[in-house]
Amino acid sequence: MKKAVETCYVCGAPKTSKEHVPPKSWFAKSYRQNLMTVPSCAIHNESNSSDVEYVGFILAAATTGKGSNELWSGAIKRNVDRRRGPFATVMSQTTTVQVGRDETGEVSITPQRFVKVLAAIGYGLYYYQKEVPWKGRWRIVLPDPDDPGAHVQRLSGLVWIEEDSPNHECFQWWSNNDQGTPRYKLKFYGELDLYIEGRIPEVPSE
Ligand SMILES: [Zn+2]
């Protein structure tokens, strides 16, 4: 099943490491068996980036499932104790955590970081399924309990296929490939539905 030469899940460069999809740090310690990985180059390995930590923190902060509770009491709390990075940022803007609904960022908290990290997950899931990089971009659709928005209404009405996930307490995912466009529905910590939808490049690259 493995190809002779494994290449980066985003850019196709030779593999220098592997990337967890979703990031390993989003799984509490007791939920880290058999996590999904894809081959990665050095540039596209974002496992330890501050963006990954930041977004993971917000996802865990916005949920109350067993998986996120363990993160709160374990790794995240230690990080919070050690340095006031993402935690201070989030807690000063708690009311806006779950706001927002599309790729241009109606999320009040630095939407660029959400979009960057979740787009990387889109590339990762696509490569995990197809073993080639997705050549387009991604639309990230975040939940907004007060206003589902047109994208959420459209996407929630599609037929979704549940995919294998190593740990439902922390992560579940579904796919839909209508008309050749990859779409993923993600659920973190049993609660939070996010959508990632492929977007064809406006100008063909070849
Ligand atoms: Zn790469």
Per-residue model confidence as pLDDT tens digits over 110-131: 677 888 899 999 999 999 999 9
Q: Residue 43 C-alpha to ligand 1 middle, in angstroms?
A: 6
- Chain mean pLDDT for the chain: 80
Q: Which helix (H) or strand (E) holds 87?
A: helix 86-91
**Residue 104 reports pLDDT greater than 60:** no
Question: What is the pTM for the complete model shown?
Answer: 0.81
Separation of CA 41 and ligand 1 centre (Å): 4
Q: What is the pLDDT of residue 105?
A: 33
* Model confidence pLDDT, tens digit, residues 149-188: 788 889 989 999 999 998 888 999 999 999 999 999 999 9
Distance 201 CA to ligand 1 centre (A): 18
HSE-CB of 50 using CA atoms within 13 angstroms: 8
CB crowding 122-159: b at 16 or more within 10 Å, else e = bbbbbbeeeeebbebbbbbbbbbeeeebebbeebeeee
Q: Is the pLDDT of residue 2 over 80?
A: no
DSSP string, 148-186: -HHHHHHHHTS--EEEP-S-TTTEEEEEE-GGG--EEEE
pLDDT at position 79: 61
Find the 39 Cα to ligand 1 centroid distance in Å: 9
168, amino acid identity: H
CA of 140 to the centre of ligand 1 (A): 20
| CA distances from residue 132 to 25, 46, 125 in whole angstroms, order as listed | 25, 19, 11
Q: 146 C-alpha vs ligand 1 centroid, how far in Å?
A: 37
Confidence of residue 93 (pLDDT cuts 50, 70, 90): very low
- Tokens coding 195: 């959508």
The pLDDT, as a whole number, for residue 206 is: 53
* Bridge partners (DSSP) listed for residue 141: 195
Q: Which residue has the higher pLDDT, 95 or 33?
A: 33
